[in-house]
Amino acid sequence: MNDIPCVLTSEEVASLSKPTSEAQGLPGRAYFDEGFYETERRDVFASGWMAVGFASDIPKFGDVVPVSVAGWELVLVRGRDGVIQCFHNVCRHRGMKVVGQACNSRTLSCPYHRWTYGLDGKLIGTPAIAGVNRNEAPEFEEELLGLVPVRSGQWFDFIFVNMDGKARPLEEHLQPMRERIEPTFDLSLVQRGSGGRSGSREFPVNWKVVLEGSIEDYHLPYVHKAFKHSSDYFTEDGGEIYAGFSSRRDLGEALQRYAAQDEAGVSLPAFPAMERSGKAETVVLFLFPNAILSCTPTYISTSIMLPLGPQRTAYSARTNFVNEGATDPRFEKLREENSAFWNNVFGEDDGIWQTIQAMSHVREELRLATRFSPHWERALHVFQKYVAKQVARRSS
């Protein structure tokens, strides 16, 4: 493929492939270069299962949500059968974006010339196409001009898409992650609640800066006032599917660490097995390339990073609480405090991430390599090796 730039040298790939204590990280240009980003679009985001939205944002028949991600314009639609479908958000007439904002509707109507599509993507209306009050043209093959579908699927609250349509089935792809999570965390007990780490924001940084800033606990006591290092810290290595970390501690300590208990000692409900044992486990997994599943004793957060360009990322998160913790008014204040806690944490990260982004240009000019902590950053190393392997497939 001569049109694919060589974004990593063989020496850079070899250096990144060494053991974590010896490896050198991705070069600075990986965080701002247009050629590197275009290769990621093809070989990281288009070729596998990419998270693009949350099913809980599209709860009812007729709910419609547009999504911009890595240069694609998509629209998510919940049909009459309750299934969420994804289409390219591009009118088949002149290429206008069909849906501009989230809504509930029985049809999708392009604002330019009012070509109209059903929620199944079929073209059902072409007003005045053949003249005044003449809405049909005999030679026009409307059945061939529906919205272009995108292969999609759902697990838990995540909606995934496969842009090139060639990835293995979603169920098969996610199986290793599910085998790690579901024996410990009963997902049937959690539901979307108000508060918690919920909302959306943009960061003027590369998508990998956001993910890498979340995938290690090394920085915690130096950047975040609320945290200290955990003495019980394990790397979760799911190969090319996920990476992350886990920790185990007494439930009481976990409730305090993850903002699930107020000053009076009132706590959010925890998973029953953890309440019975008094022992808590937390598992944070990064589902490649752009989703985060954060499982704590009292809530599970789902997060998505949507790349909007080489140096711009949209971040969205939703929180699902255990049992009555999601909706019971008794826990409303705790949910609000949990939300404020995590907003503050991300506010502390923001400045660091922007500086890291700016310095990527400097270190590229200096050819300055980065290194990894062999204890805290093994998962970060796994992630960077995943990116390197994907982009090197056609650039070597």
pLDDT in tens, 327-358: 999 999 999 988 888 888 989 999 999 999 99
Distance in angstroms (rounded) separating the CA atoms of residues 91 and 145: 9
Comparing 54 with 396, the larger pLDDT belongs to 54
Do residues 14 and 46 lie in contact, with contact meaning Cβ atoms separated by under 8 Å? no
Residue 198 pLDDT greater than 80, yes or no: no
- How wide is the angle at C-alpha 150 spanned by C-alphas 144 and 155, nearest 5°? 145
378: pLDDT strictly greater than 70: yes
Work out the number of other CB atoms within 10 angstroms of the CB of residue 254. 23
- Which tops the pLDDT comparison, 77 or 196? 77
The type of residue at 332 is E
DSSP string, 368-392: PPP---TTT-HHHHHHHHHHHHHHH
Pairing between β-strand 199-203 and β-strand 242-250 as defined by DSSP bridges: unpaired
Query: How deeply is 232 buried, as exposed, middle or buried, from its count of CB atoms within 10 A (0-12, 13-18, 19+)?
Result: exposed
Question: Per DSSP, what are the bridge partners of residue 125?
Answer: 116
Q: Would you say 122 and 107 are in contact if contact means Cβ atoms under 8 Å apart?
A: no
Residue pair 104/58 in contact by the 8 Å Cβ criterion: no
For residue 129, name the pLDDT band (cuts at 50, 70, 90).
confident
Between CA 196 and CA 335 the distance in angstroms is 5
User: H/E element holding 275?
Assistant: helix 272-277
Enter the tokens of residue 344: 């503050």
Residue type, 180: R
pTM score of the predicted model:
0.93
**Surface-to-core class of residue 278, CB atoms within 10 Å of its CB (0-12 exposed, 13-18 middle, 19+ buried):** exposed
pLDDT at 180 over 50: yes
Q: What is the pLDDT of residues 276-325, one digit of tens each?
A: 999 999 999 999 999 999 999 999 999 999 999 999 999 999 999 999 99
Confidence of residue 196 (pLDDT cuts 50, 70, 90): low
Residue of 297, 307, 237, 296 lying closest to 272 (CA atoms):
297
Report the half-sphere exposure of 13 (CA within 13 A, side-chain side).
15
- Give the count of beta carbons closer than 10 Å to the beta carbon of residue 296: 27
Distance of CA 154 to the CA centre of its chain: 13
Query: Under 8 Å CB-to-CB from 225, ≥6 apart: which residues?
Result: 348
As given in the structure block, the two tokens for residue 357 are 């982004």
Structure tokens at 145: 């001009």
Q: Is the pLDDT of residue 2 over 70?
A: no
User: What mean pLDDT do residues 151-175 have?
Assistant: 97
Q: Quick one: what percent of the chain has pLDDT higher than 70?
A: 97
**Mean pLDDT in residue range 17-41:** 97
